């Protein structure tokens, strides 16, 4: 089979060279032509032509030669104009919205986080997302006209082509909201919607605990539980966008146990919107185990009723409290049982644990590794997230930058 005409010819080579030089000058800015030749392996004429095209597109500029110290004829220095455009990465959670504004080099120039009150659904939730983006842009002295792409991360199942949130059990009222239509009123640039944990994987691979990894599982562990999967350097979403929803895995039921309730159904009676795995290892389960063990009765019986209950359990375990250590060990054993099933199927090189429980530290990580080791055949690297609560928003920034670059490579003259 002969390749299609559009897949070969001088214009394709020009496009490839344009992309290679774009990435090189962005990474090494400011740089000389000789530096870009070394970084790309291209000839001087090829680099020079690509630089001219980048200059015409407004993406690079010449550095004042008088500022360079050299012998003889001054070298031509080029800098990447990261400030010429910006992207926005957004994390929509059950209790908060985070918006980050970054330039085209990926430097975050402004961010804004707002808390979502209980019961904020539908139009109120969408307005919170919009307001957070506007406020973040204002902090950077920018408007929607300066934005080249917005990427929004949300829990649940997202239809990849349309960006519609089909299902979001963790945030009532989010499914089927016109998020893209609403945000398109802010900017003429593209708006993309993506599953939040898929974006967290990109964030950790870009600037977190697994920089450059091509085989990765990221597990968000908090009130809700989900996983993002990276295979051969590409996010794996599944046929219906539901890959990695391990919070709904039922790995604890006995063979003769009654059938579980349907997983979702809009909150109607007789329908579960919480997964079996979430109910066994989520933060509520940890608080319940500590309560049953009377771990904090002597300290403060009211502690388990506070939002810091789980943090208190792990703090006590770090101090060596035997009852708290027993709670941590039990929850780690449960978690390892569910995680092992995923690792046996995927065999990733690295596993990153993020979400609220990643703050529990090495005490939890050591317990998970001890329980996980006899359940799996290989030994992936197991680490805690470096990015914490910023993982999704930073992953959204990275996804937005990738989208901008893909558009530039498709239309070098744009």
Q: Which helix (H) or strand (E) holds 152?
A: strand 147-154
The number of residues making up the chain comes to: 414
Last residue of some domain: 32, 56, 80? 80
Cβ proximity of 362 and 354 under 8 Å: no
Rg, Å, the chain Cα set: 24
Do 373 and 266 belong to one domain? yes
CA dihedral 250, 251, 255, 259 (to 10 degrees): -10
Number of domains within the chain = 3
Token readout for 280 is: 């066994």
Spatial separation of the C-alpha atoms in residues 385 and 200, rounded to whole Å: 10
Cβ proximity of 263 and 244 under 8 Å: no
Do 138 and 237 belong to one domain? no
Do 256 and 243 belong to one domain? yes
Do 111 and 196 belong to one domain? yes
Name residues whose C-beta falls within 8 Å of residue 274's C-beta, 6 or more positions apart in sequence: 169, 247
Token readout for 399 is: 């996804």
Strands (E) in 223-282, as ranges, are 225-231, 234-235
What string of pLDDT tens digits covers the 414 residues of the chain? 333 444 455 677 888 899 999 999 999 999 999 999 999 999 999 999 999 999 999 999 998 755 445 455 567 799 999 999 999 999 998 789 999 999 999 999 999 999 987 766 777 888 899 999 999 999 999 999 999 999 999 988 888 888 888 888 777 778 888 888 889 999 999 999 999 999 999 999 999 999 999 999 999 998 889 999 999 999 999 988 889 999 988 887 655 555 555 555 544 334 446 788 988 998 888 888 887 776 554 445 444 434 467 888 888 888 888 888 999 999 999 999 999 999 999 999 999 999 888 888 899 999 999 999 999 999 999 999 999 999 999 999 999 999 999 988 876 555
Do 214 and 332 belong to one domain? yes
pLDDT of 122 reads 72
The domain containing residue 23 runs over which residues?
5-80
Last residue of some domain: 80, 105, 128? 80
Spatial separation of the C-alpha atoms in residues 144 and 122, rounded to whole Å: 23
Do 374 and 406 belong to one domain? no
Do 341 and 242 belong to one domain? yes
pLDDT of 311 reads 82
Do 366 and 248 belong to one domain? yes
Angle of helix 44-56 versus helix 33-40 axis, rounded to 10: 110
pLDDT of 6 reads 43
pLDDT of 5 reads 41
- CATH code of residue 197: 3.30.420.40
pLDDT of 267 reads 42
Cβ proximity of 276 and 250 under 8 Å: yes
- Does residue 389 sit in helix, strand or coil? helix
Sheet holding 225-231, edge to edge: 234-235, 225-231, 215-221, 350-354, 381-384
pLDDT of 315 reads 86
Last residue of some domain: 80, 95, 125? 80
Largest CA distance in the chain: 85
Name residues whose C-beta falls within 8 Å of residue 234's C-beta, 6 or more positions apart in sequence: none
Do 36 and 133 belong to one domain? no
What's the Cα-to-Cα distance from 89 to each of 194, 267, 356, 360, rounded to whole Å?
Answer: 11, 30, 20, 26
Do 34 and 155 belong to one domain? no
């Amino acid at each position: 089979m002969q390749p299609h005409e559009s897949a070969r010819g001088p214009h394709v080579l020009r496009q490839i060279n344009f992309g290679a030089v774009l990435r090189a000058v962005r990474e090494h800015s400011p740089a000389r032509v000789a530096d870009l030749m070394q970084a790309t392996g291209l000839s001087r004429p090829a680099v020079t032509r690509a630089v001219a095209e980048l200059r015409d597109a407004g993406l690079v500029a010449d550095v004042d030669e008088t500022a360079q110290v050299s012998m003889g004829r001054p070298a031509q220095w080029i800098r990447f104009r990261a400030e010429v455009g910006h992207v926005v990465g957004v994390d929509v959670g059950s209790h908060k919205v985070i918006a980050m504004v970054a330039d085209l080099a990926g430097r975050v120039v402004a961010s804004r986080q707002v808390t979502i009150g209980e019961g904020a659904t539908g139009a109120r939730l969408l307005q919170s997302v919009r307001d957070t983006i506007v406020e973040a842009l204002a902090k950077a002295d920018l408007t929607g006209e300066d934005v080249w792409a917005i990427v929004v991360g949300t829990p649940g199942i997202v239809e990849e082509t349309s960006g519609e949130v089909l299902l979001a059990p963790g945030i009532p009222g989010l499914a089927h909201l016109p998020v893209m239509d609403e945000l398109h009123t802010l900017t003429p640039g593209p708006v993309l919607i993506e599953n939040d944990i898929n974006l967290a994987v990109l964030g950790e691979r870009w600037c977190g605990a697994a920089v450059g990894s091509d085989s990765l599982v990221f597990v968000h562990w908090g009130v809700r539980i989900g996983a993002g999967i990276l295979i051969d350097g590409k996010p794996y979403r599944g046929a219906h966008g539901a890959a990695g929803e391990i919070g709904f895995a039922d790995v604890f039921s006995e063979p003769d146990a009654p059938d579980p309730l349907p997983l979702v159904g809009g909150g109607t009676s007789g329908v579960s919107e919480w997964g079996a795995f979430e109910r066994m290892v989520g933060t509520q389960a940890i608080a319940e185990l500590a309560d049953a063990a009377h771990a904090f009765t002597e300290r403060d019986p009211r502690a388990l009723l506070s939002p810091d209950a789980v943090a208190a359990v792990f703090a006590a375990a770090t101090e060596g409290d035997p009852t708290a250590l027993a709670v941590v060990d039990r929850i780690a054993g449960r978690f390892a049982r569910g995680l092992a099933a995923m690792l046996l199927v995927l065999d990733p090189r690295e596993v990153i644990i993020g979400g609220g429980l990643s703050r529990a530290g090495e005490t939890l990580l050591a317990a998970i590794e001890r329980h996980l080791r006899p359940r799996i055949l290989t030994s992936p690297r197991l680490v805690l997230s470096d990015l914490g609560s910023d993982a999704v928003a930073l992953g959204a920034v990275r996804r937005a930058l990738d989208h901008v670059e893909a558009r530039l490579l498709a239309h070098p003259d744009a």
